[in-house]
Amino acid sequence: MALPVAFFAVFFAWPVAAIVSRGLKADGVWQFGRIADVVTQPDIRHVLWFTTWQALASTALTLLLALPAAHVFARLDFPGKQLLRAVVTVPFVLPTVVVGTAFLALVGHGGLLDDLWGVRLDTTVWAILLAHVFFNYAVVVRTVGGLWAQLDPRQEQAARMLGASPLTAWRKVTLPALAPAVAAAALMVFLFTFTSFGVVQILGGPTFSTLEVEIYRQTSELFDLSTAAVLTLVQFVAVGAILAVHAWTVRRRESALRLVDPKVTARRPRGAGQWGLLAGVLLTVVLLLVLPLAVLVQRSLDAPGLGYYRALTDADGGTFLVAPLHAVWTSLEYAVAATAIALVIGGLAAAALARRDAGRLVRGFDALLMLPLGVSAVTVGFGFLIALDRPPLDLRQSWILVPLAQALVGAPFVVRTMLPVLRAVDGRLREAAAVLGASPWRVWREVDLPLVRRALLIAAGFAFAVSLGEFGATVFIARPDSPTLPVAVARLLSRPGELNYGQAMALSTILMVVCAAALLLLERLRTDRTGEF
């Protein structure tokens, strides 16, 4: 645990504490009264209200649209199921900047709906809600569907034989068993939407602002660190409460149910109802998930002769110090470095947490590992500039700063992927190897590693995709001559002109293809034991 604890202390706790301290201290004295002054301001109260409201609305809408798909994946077997699973999961690993850009191409000015029917949603909250559903659809499908597939269907069949209608049997038998998984998925969706940045930044404009967007505005535009620090504390407390409830629901889900092999619960669709449900899910996937990405690709091809893509090789547009295409190679290099760091930090943490003799302090660190996913990435990025500005850790001019920030987000995914597999390894195998004279390192190399190799590859894929799309922290610390893909897309969208817009679409398409390729590789490696979130 020494290295993971040191990593999170230096590159997460210290930067966040530094920016909070800078904002709430005046002449060396803490100004705690500033907290009440900020949260009682009418515009800040509106931001807090909108942040909570849109997160609740996004969560409810996501559950409404994704639960039928969870049932389809859990109980029905049909051709192309694995391909459809990959298609459903692609949005989750896409950067939020790409999601916002895709919906801008669909519902924004000059978008598909505007061209066909003169309808624009980019100035309404519906664009944000639909983009959040697009992004979090897979969270519900994989979390709830993974448990649903392992529930014994004979319990519901017994209720039907005793006279219960299909709806009553589902409501009184299946739904109570699924409740912990539904609650866990809902809390994850709420967490992601509560801290939403890229989607709201692109689609919300000046009208809508979440806590994360407001922290960015107060920090980078108004230079009001005091207000940003207060909002960071508010978000930190809210996220901590969400993670505590999430940990409780996960423990309940893991201990309360008797599960069966998911391979025996899926059947070919029978009857008009099941075929209709499958058709409805397919239609939802096409309209909600595939169409925005297809429009994004189509918009990137509007210029004759791949003009927008060819323009990415030209640095004369004035937006960048280098050609926009350079951001592709920069992002790949940063993502590879961030993945290596995340694997080391997350792998060591998972190995420590998987030990049956781990103490309460070690187990408590498990919850802390999730905080970087919920705490403002904007705060972390700006905190890097404040905290890491003097020896022995003066990293402001170092390229490693961006991979370190990205690894903070990737490490929790490594832990969540590897921990269940490491806990499933029979401890007697390690004990037998130790009795035969193997050192701890050799035990890990010859016992644990062969069993967790596939989970390790899956963890690497997730960390790579997440690192590639990190935006909130990177927008502060990426150097002008080395922008990442999400930063380059945001810069292009912030400038007027058809060429800038088309280049943003082209870069977003490239980023989408790279992330989708990483996900398809994960699907090939996925097993029943390591494939769920």
User: What residues pair up with 25 in beta bridges, in sequence order?
Assistant: 30
Q: How confident is the model at residue 360 (pLDDT cuts 50, 70, 90)?
A: low
What does the pLDDT read at residue 251?
Answer: 58
| Among 61-70, 306-315, 349-358, 381-390, the least confident range | 349-358
What does the pLDDT read at residue 256?
Answer: 44
Q: How confident is the model at residue 470 (pLDDT cuts 50, 70, 90)?
A: confident
SS3 content of the chain, % helix, strand, coil (to 5): 75, 0, 25
Q: Please, are residues 402 and 484 in contact by the beta-carbon 8 Å criterion?
A: yes
Half-sphere exposure of 371 (CA within 13 A, CB side): 22
**What gap in Å lies between CA 159 and CA 410, rounded to an integer?**
44
What average pLDDT does this structure show over 453-479? 82
Instruction: From residue 268, give the alpha-carbon distance in Å to each of 23, 157, 265, 468.
Output: 60, 17, 10, 38
Q: Is the pLDDT of residue 129 over 90?
A: yes
What does the pLDDT read at residue 373?
Answer: 73
Instruction: From residue 288, give the alpha-carbon distance in Å to each of 69, 95, 293.
Output: 13, 17, 9
What does the pLDDT read at residue 246?
Answer: 67
Q: Which tokens go with 305?
A: 């002769």
- Residues with Cβ within 8 Å of residue 409, at least 6 apart in sequence: 372, 373, 377, 466, 467, 470, 473
| Among 70-84, 422-436, 502-516, the least confident range | 422-436
What average pLDDT does this structure show over 23-35? 76
What does the pLDDT read at residue 531?
Answer: 40
Instruction: Tell me whether the omega of the peptide bond preceding residue 166 falls within 30 degrees of 0, making it cis.
Output: no
Tens-digit pLDDT profile for residues 300-321: 998 888 888 988 887 665 566 7
Q: How confident is the model at residue 249 (pLDDT cuts 50, 70, 90)?
A: low
Tens-digit pLDDT profile for residues 171-222: 787 778 778 778 878 888 898 898 888 888 888 877 888 888 888 888 878 7
Q: Pick the most confident of 170-174, 243-247, 405-409.
A: 405-409
More confident residue, 514 or 118: 514
- Report phi then psi at 268, rounded to 5: -60, 145
A 10 A CB-CB count for 446 gives 12
- Ordered alpha helix ranges (H), 256-290: 271-284
What does the pLDDT read at residue 459?
Answer: 80
Q: Which tokens go with 19?
A: 């920016």
Q: Please, are residues 18 and 383 in contact by the beta-carbon 8 Å criterion?
A: yes
Q: Is the pLDDT of residue 375 over 90?
A: no
Q: How confident is the model at residue 530 (pLDDT cuts 50, 70, 90)?
A: very low
Secondary structure letter of residue 285 according to DSSP: I
- Residues with Cβ within 8 Å of residue 515, at least 6 apart in sequence: 90, 93, 94, 95, 98, 465, 468, 469
Q: How many helices (H) does the chain have, and how many strands (E)?
A: 28, 4
Sign of CA dihedral 381, 494, 398, 373: positive
Q: Please, are residues 474 and 406 in contact by the beta-carbon 8 Å criterion?
A: yes
| Among 100-104, 270-274, 421-425, the least confident range | 421-425
What average pLDDT does this structure show over 396-414? 87
What average pLDDT does this structure show over 114-118? 75
Tens-digit pLDDT profile for residues 33-87: 878 888 888 988 999 999 999 999 999 999 999 999 988 888 888 888 878 887 8
**What gap in Å lies between CA 423 and CA 525, rounded to an integer?**
20
Q: What is the pTM of this model?
A: 0.79
Largest Cα–Cα separation, the chain: 75
Q: Please, are residues 474 and 346 in contact by the beta-carbon 8 Å criterion?
A: no
